[in-house]
Amino acid sequence: ETGVTQTPRHLVMGMTNKKSLKCEQHLGHNAMYWYKQSAKKPLELMFVYNFKEQTENNSVPSRFSPECPNSSHLFLHLHTLQPEDSALYLCASSQRTGEGTGELFFGEGSRLTVL
């Protein structure tokens, strides 16, 4: 148990569907992250939030829409995805971010399959 919970663990959706991934951290951290992990590719940072404010958008297509209502919750809204978006989506949190970014705590991931 890492203190970061992701739901759902598995999601299958069609290209016209709209779905959301949810992440919740119980660690009192101030920063939250979304990463994408595709087969045979390194982890790709998607978004960084610090105190609910987005501080990094790593050129992510607009079909991925993040939402951070508070420091404990992070969502990734998905719409009109493509099959190549199929991947493991990992949420993480850390006490602080910036140049002194320390240890990230990861959830178990949401395995997304786009048909």
Tokens 């660690």 correspond to 27
- Among 21, 68, 81, 90, the residue binding another protein under the rule CB under 8 A is 90
The yes or no reply on residue 21 touching another protein (CB under 8 A) is no
Footprint of another protein on residues 60-89 (CB under 8 A)?
88
The yes or no reply on residue 45 touching another protein (CB under 8 A) is yes
- Among 56, 72, 79, 86, the residue binding another protein under the rule CB under 8 A is 56
ω before 8 within 30° of 0 (cis)? Answer: yes
Tokens 């958008």 correspond to 57
Nearer residue to another protein within complex by CB, 18 or 101 = 101
User: Do the bridges between strand 10-13 and strand 105-106 make them parallel or antiparallel, or are there none, so unpaired?
Assistant: unpaired
Nearer residue to another protein within complex by CB, 84 or 99 = 99
Nearer residue to another protein within complex by CB, 9 or 18 = 9
Please name the residues in contact with 22: beta carbons below 8 A apart, sequence gap of 6 or more. 6, 7, 73, 74, 75
What's the closest the beta carbon of residue 18 comes to another protein, in angstroms?
A: 25
